Amino acid sequence: MYICLDFIQMKDLVREARRLRLDFPILEKLHPSGHPLIYLDNAATAQKPRAVLSALHQFLSEFNANIHRGIHWLSQKATALYEGARESVAEFIGAASAEEIVFVRGATEGINLIANGLKRVHFQPGGEILLTQAEHHANIVPWQLIAEEIPIRLRPIPLQSDGSFDWEAFYQALTPQTQLIALTAMSNVLGTEIPIPDIAQVARTRGIPLLVDACQAVVHRPIEVKAWGVDFLVFSGHKLYGPTGIGVVYMRRPWGDIFPPYQGGGDMIRQVSWTRTSFAPPPAKFEAGTPAIAEAVALAEAIKYLQRTVGWDFIQAYESYLTDYAEEQLCSIPNLKLYGTARPRGCLWSFTLEDIHPHDVGTFLDQAGIAVRVGHHCAQPLMDFLQVPATIRASFAFYNLPEEIDRLVLALKESVKFFSKIEGEVKLS
C-alpha cells in the first residue's frame, strides 16, 4: 500500500514537472545534432520561464526609464518596479527590511563588496577567515586579495569524506583569531548542504560575523536570513531562473550603516561638493550608477514564479526524487565514482569515469545533445582535496525529467564503450 502510494505520488510529481517544463521555451529546442536538448547544467545557470522573459520585455517596452532621479511618470513607475523588486527579494529570503538588500551584478560582485567593507572596518592584522574546502573561487579570491593588503589568512576546514560538514574540524579551526566565517550553503561541486542555521548559532554566540554564499542553496531551499541570524548572504539571479547581470547582497543591520561605500558615483550620495561628499543611506550607498533595472524587475518575477507557480513543496519533493533516481542510475555504470554522497543535498551529482578524462566525456555527451559541465567548476582547491583534475557534473532543475537521466546514463555507458574501444585500438597500433 505504502509503495503503491509512493508510486502514485511520484507519477504525479513527474506529471507536474512535465507541465512546468512547458513554461521554458528553450527546453523545446533541438541540439544541432538533431537530438532533443537535454539541459543538465543548471548549477551554472538555469533556464528562464516565460514569466521572466515577459517581465524583461514588458519593462523595456512599456516602463523603461532611469530610476530615482526622474520626476516624470515613467521614471516613477520604473522606480516603483525596481524598489518593489527589492521588497520581493527581502520577503523571499526573510530579511527584516528591504533596506538590507543591495542589488549587484551577481554573487561574485557581492562578495567583493562585502570583502571591501570588512577590510575597511572589521579585519585586524592576524585575523583568520574560516571557509570550507568546497568554496567556489568567488568565495576565496576576494579574501586573498584583501590578505595582500591586511595580514589575515584563510583557514579552510576539511569536509568529511562523504562531503558533509565536519563539526570537529570546524571547532578545531575556530580560535580567538577567527574574524569571519564565510561558507557556501551548498557546494556547487558536491551538492552537499552545509548546516548554516547551526553554524550561525555558534557564530552569533562568539560574535563572529557569518557570510553565506547561497548561490546554489537558494534554488533548492527556502532561506531565512533573519531567523538564522546570518550577517551577509549573496546569490546570483541567473541561477534562480532570473536574468544574468543581477545579484543580491543581504547585509544585516547595522553593517550597511558601518560599511563605507564600495564604489562612488551617481545615486549613492546625499550631497556632493568639491570639498566634501556625504552618502545616501543603505542600500543606495552601495548602488552607484544606473543599476540593472529591468533585470531586477525580472528577478522579482522569477521569485514570484518559483513561489506561486512552482512552490517549495513541489521543488523539494520532486528534486529529492530526481536526486535519488539519478544516483541509482549513475551507480549502475561500472567504474563510475560519485563525489560527495551525503544528505541533505541539492539536486546534482559530480562524478568521474575511470580512465576517461571528464572533458572527453563532456564532448561525447554534447554530441548526444546532453549539456553537462566538466572541469574544476571554479573550485580548484576542492579538486586538489578530491585529488582529481576535474569532474563531470550533472545538475538538475525541477523541469528535468527521469527520462533525461536515462538518456544521460545511456550516453555515459556508450562513452565508456567508445573510449575503451579507442584505447584498445591505440594499444594495438
What is the contact surface with ligand PMP in residues (CB under 6 A)?
106-108, 136, 138, 184, 188, 213, 215-216, 236, 378
Min CB(33)–ligand PMP separation in Å: 27
Residue nearer to ligand PMP on the CB measure, 164 or 216: 216
Count the Cβ atoms, other than its own, within 10 Å of residue 80: 12
Residue whose C-alpha cell is 584505447: 423
Residue nearer to ligand PMP on the CB measure, 130 or 215: 215
Min CB(178)–ligand PMP separation in Å: 21
Residue nearer to ligand PMP on the CB measure, 393 or 407: 393
Residue 374 contacts residue 390 (beta carbons within 8 Å): yes
Min CB(130)–ligand PMP separation in Å: 16
Min CB(214)–ligand PMP separation in Å: 8
Residue nearer to ligand PMP on the CB measure, 193 or 213: 213
Residue nearer to ligand PMP on the CB measure, 136 or 285: 136
Cis status, amide bond into 254, omega within 30 of 0: yes
**Residue 378 known to be catalytic:** yes
Min CB(128)–ligand PMP separation in Å: 21
Min CB(287)–ligand PMP separation in Å: 17
Residue nearer to ligand PMP on the CB measure, 192 or 236: 236
Q: Which residues are catalytic?
A: 378
